Chain A
Amino acid sequence: MAPSLCAICRTERALIKRPKNYAKLCKACFIKVFEDEVHHTITSSQLFHPGEKVAIGASGGKDSTVLASVLKTLNKRHGYGLDLVLLSIDEGIKGYRDDSLETVKRNALQYEMPLKVVGYDELYGWTMDQVVETIGKKGNCTYCGVFRRQALDRGAKMLGIKHVVTGHNADDVAETVLMNLLRGDLSRLSRSTSIVTGDDRSEVKRSKPLKYSYEKEIVLYAHHKKLDYFSTECIYSPEAFRGSARSLIKQLERVRPSAILDIVRSGEDMARLVPGESPSSCACKRQKTPAAPVVEDDIGGCGSSNGRTPGGEMAAMDKQLRENEEHSGLETDIAKTISENKQAEMEKPKELPIRSANAASKGGRQTLGNCKRCGYMSSQDICQACTLLEGLNKNRPQIQI
């Protein structure tokens, strides 16, 4: 095969074939385009404001390393005026987190960002090693996932920071969309597609600037920029990615790479039909991105294996399904909206009715309160972390005899 030239500069040899549009690009043009697209996501969704202090949830893995590198670059190039900090969670898993924390420490030097490490032991009084010792390996991902979700927020609070960005990519979002569709979990489907969760009312908001970035391109970006990242599998669920929704996503990508972004967009469109939720999208046409409320999302989802976790999931799914049944007006709402829109469509065939912002109507929404024990935002009286801790603390004496 004769080497092809870059579709943009037409001088350098193409090294990358983009999954979203099959464009063949050289290294320099690819890096530029990748960064430009993240910049577009950030500006069109108005993710940041000048002077904002932002914590990057950093694991030392590819996604958060690329996120840190790109934010550092864009902050300087476009003058965002952000005060960036790396925030790492130490789950307390010997032989796993130690190595990746070393990577984060190097990243802190490379990107000249301060680093804060928060441990499960100081937050909850338990390391994951101790949790596994107590409850065994089965279902421990649930604990880890629930603890991590709060840990980032609590770590941010300790630093006086109100905004945490995470490295979730398009593949992660597509996977979560599929999982929530299979579960029939509409409110979580809606929240998981939002680029921002939490708003001024909540203490810490979350966002995912790499939401539209392919995992493949994130890895290639890291490779071509020679970024220092660490890849590993958690020793307590080493093969979590096998036989999961993740495999399905990757197989779809192999057949038709655009499938991933298509699923993300479909998820957003479906989320817009969920009553009572306020999903966001690329928000190009919008003034301000509405943020979905932060509830304790994705139980059992762990940072590196989002939605790929066994244990405790079925029970949670069951409960959620029952809650959804209470939203009885749902089915008719959607049908009504669609049929109304169909009429409109006949008059104005060019418009996509589903993308209109008023599709969402009133309906059931989880009421947000605070955990009576720790004060963390929760839809129940006692938050998931405190419930899990209660069980753990009861078991500790028995086990340690």
Chain B
Amino acid sequence: MASKEDTPKIPITVDFSGGLEMLFSNKRRHQVSLPSLTPEGQPATIAYLIDYLCKNLISDPRTDLFVLDGHIRPGILVLINEADWELEGEEEYEIHKGDNILFVSTLHGG
């Protein structure tokens, strides 16, 4: 734990919408301090953020509504600073200070 606490943190904003907020304490916006390095010493990416959210932020036990087979569930859109993550390298995108990451579900009905 000590080494984890020594790792500098990146402050970012994480938003959930389209029904996903229900899995995250019914709250749309979360301020997250993400460790800047993974336990393996690699720079924090979206893949790491998703894993981190599953371990630290999700309030609903049904994590498979967010992540399926280790990847974001198909049908959930990811926007990095308003841009589709497909334009930013998807899971490989390296997170920067102040980034806004939005997860929107297309799976929920009205």
Contact = CB atoms under 8 A, between A and B. Distances in A.
Interface of A: 1, 3-4, 13-17, 24, 27, 59-65, 100, 171, 215-216, 218-220, 223-224, 229-234, 239, 241-242, 246-247, 250-251, 253-254, 302-305
B84 interface: yes
A14 B87 contact: yes
Given A1-B89, A219-B18, A251-B74, A17 B84 contact: yes
Contact of B87 (A15, A230, A250): A15
Given A216-B77, A231-B19, A233-B19, A14 B83 contact: yes
Nearest to A215: B106
A281 to B, nearest CB: 25
Given A62-B18, A216-B77, A231-B19, A246 B107 contact: yes
A219 B107 CA distance: 10
Contact of B74 (A1, A61, A63, A250): A250
Contact of B75 (A16, A64, A250): A250
B37 to A, nearest CB: 21
Contacts of A233: 19, 108-109
Contacts, number: 92
A218 B83 CA distance: 15
Nearest to B107: A241
Contact of A247 (B17, B74, B87, B109): B74
7 contacts: A1-B87, A16-B84, A171-B106, A218-B106, A223-B102, A231-B105, A231-B108
| Number of chain B interface residues as a range | 20 to 34
Contacts of A247: 74-75
B106 A232 contact: no
B106 A216 contact: yes
B99 interface: no
A100 B110 contact: yes
B104 A59 contact: no
A303 B109 contact: yes
B28 to A, nearest CB: 11
Contacts of B73: 250
Interface of B: 17-19, 65, 73-75, 77, 79, 82-84, 86-89, 93, 102, 104-110
B18 A15 contact: no
Given A59-B109, A234-B109, A220 B19 contact: no
Given A232-B108, A232-B109, A15 B82 contact: yes
Contact of B17 (A27, A171, A215, A231): A231
Nearest to A60: B110
A376 B65 CA distance: 40
B104 A223 contact: yes
Contacts of A60: 110
